[in-house]
Structure 1
């Protein structure tokens, strides 16, 4: 997972990678020995494939929210 995070950081900081085509970025990841899940996510455009690498945790909406509106204060 650390390698994937480092690769994501490198892609984000390098404009040539950030704006590369899917095919170009997939080739770079394969040469860089990226994980199968990361390479598949880039090639397919489906980020859910990273669930197997980062682990899937169901996120729930909060049951209550708090707002501070001036109309309620007064």
Structure 2
């Protein structure tokens, strides 16, 4: 599985690096602070984003038909 926050005003960042956006030892408050700092000056209407997640289930190493589920949740980044 993998997931990430895709922010349009940041050209898709942080994307797959959402959990470590503020560094390899980042945490949620540090990631949020960096994200809000990167969006400083961006009008609310332009702060569009979506959370994207994918999960794959393999029933065996040679599974010819893995189960794949993906989803998005769209919204705005607010302060």
Q: TM-score, with normalisation over the residues of structure 1? A: 0.33
Structure with larger RCO (C-alpha < 8 A, sep 6+) = 2
Q: Which has the higher strand share?
A: 2
Q: TM-score, with normalisation over the residues of structure 2? A: 0.32
